[in-house]
Structure 1
Amino acid sequence: MKVQGKTIVVTGANGGMGVAVVKQLLEEGAQVVGCDLKGDQLTGLGQEKLVIFEGDLLEESFVRHVFSEANERFGKIDGLVNAAGMAQQATPIEETTLDMWHNLLDINMTLLFLSCREAVNYMKKQQNGTIVNVASISAVRPRPGLQSYIASKGGAESFSRALAIELAHENIRVNTVHPGPCDTNMLEQFAAEGTDMEKAKEDIFKRSVPMGKLLTPENIASSIVFLLSEEANMVTGATLNVDGGRGI
């Protein structure tokens, strides 16, 4: 029970990766607060140990409400996992609109900033806490046509490192996970329009992974649970590549 008794907030909890994180946290003994625009994939998972909030995590008032209610119900906030994210359909730079750019930075960076800022308010009072931000291996191994997505994920990693050094003396750890190509619905959102996804999985995504297979959401979730646990109590400012070797 690696996170027994801990209270963990998870953003993007209703997505493929987020659901896997919530499940493993519950299995490892945590109380979980799952946040997303919808929560239908989480229904029935945790009974009294899972609280679901549906709303827009780019709204400051909603973010404040989530953390206030979580603290009121469980008495503390030990961890935050930012699994929320938005993909970019492969698009040449000259065809990338300003709206596309802003949307990617809002979801992949501004949302992360807002949730981290709120979490730190509680963690500082406790003099303890752990934050794990999910970025992407493409931040260090780019692919063509994903320039805006990659910029946002590179920013997420840099933000995490900056926060780690800022908060180390408060006993608050901040780390980043870089997933490789993961077999979720989000994967097809990276492909160019008209792509045969089954063929792309074999010819593009799997071949980009030296270990020869796509990651599963459970692979990513296990790494996140480790970083939240006391087993990683001296790990901060680190980036963990969970990518089957793609970042080598």
Structure 2
Amino acid sequence: MVMNDLVAIPPVLPGIDGNSVILIAGGSGAIGSHAAAALSKMGARVAITGRSRERVDDCAHSVTYGGEVIGLVADITSSAQVKAAVESTMDRWGHIDGLVNLAAVSDSGRSLEDVDDDEIATVLQTNLVGAIYLARACADAMKKQAKGSIINVSSIGGHRVTPNRVTYGPAKAGLEHLSRQLAVELGNFGIRVNTMSPGQTPSLLCHFDETPGQAPVSSDPDGNPTPTRRIPLSRLGRFEDYVGVILFLLSDLASYVTGVNIWVDGGTSVLR
């Protein structure tokens, strides 16, 4: 894995330093690995989770630029595995300051009539139920210090209705509502909960029928680049676009920001 110029992000933000501990679920993926690299350069200690031991270990080694980065194997559809990952992080560093939930799968693009039970269960368990498991486990840890930041990464698919996407969009819409719900429930404990919704970008997820760790397929059935003519900024998103927002929401610069969804889509959402 080779990081791009993302590590040139300014290494100082209030509230992110050598004492910070961040858990990134799905951290061995595209956005997660770049976020881990940036946080490590800022001195933070980072635990990344994924389903493949080889991949999380390789990623942890590749993105360590200062602060320690470790890999933990966890399937977020398992409450027990999520709890174990949080406990491992706590045992190693004593606290958790931030959770970034990037763990997700796409769907197969089937209609209501064609979608099968396995896909319904997998997409909803990963994209929504797993987020509840993560938030519950991390919130218990964060309450002890009366401070924390939880970021759920959604998608424009949570708002845009697309034909033959009967599982992915509803799951992401539910994730955004979950963030608002938790912002209310956890606010008294000093825990902030927000959502970031990436927009037009080359596919960054494992599709439902892909093997974990495979290169993601194009979201265009013909393999063509996503058109940029519908994006006011006339380009697709870059990793640093998303990571910059993640760093902001983790930092003390966002200490009065909770319950919001930040669109990072080049303006696509304002056209719909």
Q: Flag structure 1 segments of 5+ consecutive residues without an equivalent.
A: none
Between 1 and 2, higher relative CO (CA 8 Å, sep ≥ 6) is seen in 1
Q: 2:86 & 2:233 partners in 1: Cα distance?
A: 39
Shift of 1:150: 0.3
Query: Do residues 196 (structure 1) and 210 (structure 2) align?
Result: no
Give the secondary structure class of the aligned counterpart of 2:40.
helix
- Aligned counterpart for 2:237 among listed residues 212, 215, 239: 215
Q: Flag structure 2 segments of 5+ consecutive residues without an equivalent.
A: 1-11, 207-215
- Find the counterpart in structure 2 of residue 158 from structure 1: 177
Shift of 1:101: 1.3
- Find the counterpart in structure 2 of residue 179 from structure 1: 198
Report the residue type matching 1:15 in the other structure. G
Shift of 1:113: 0.8
Report the residue type matching 2:140 in the other structure. N
- Aligned counterpart for 1:118 among listed residues 122, 137, 159: 137
Report the TM-score when normalising by structure 1.
Answer: 0.91
- Aligned counterpart for 1:41 among listed residues 47, 52, 59: 59
Shift of 1:168: 0.7
Moved more, 224-233 or 23-32: 23-32
Question: Kindly tell me: are residues 147 and 217 of structure 1, through their superposed partners in 2, closer, same or farther at Cα, counting changes over 3 Å?
Answer: farther
Report the residue type matching 2:256 in the other structure. M
Q: 1:152 & 1:137 partners in 2: Cα distance?
A: 12
Kept in 2, the 8 Å contact 1:179–1:243? The answer is yes
Report the TM-score when normalising by structure 2.
Answer: 0.83
Q: 2:160 & 2:169 partners in 1: Cα distance?
A: 9
Query: Do residues 104 (structure 1) and 123 (structure 2) align?
Result: yes
Q: 2:110 & 2:94 partners in 1: Cα distance?
A: 46
Shift of 1:34: 0.5
Identity fraction in percent: 30
Question: Kindly tell me: are residues 243 and 212 of structure 1, through their superposed partners in 2, closer, same or farther at Cα, counting changes over 3 Å?
Answer: same
Q: 1:142 & 1:208 partners in 2: Cα distance?
A: 16
Runs of 4+ in 1 over 6 A off after TM superposition: none
Shift of 1:112: 0.7
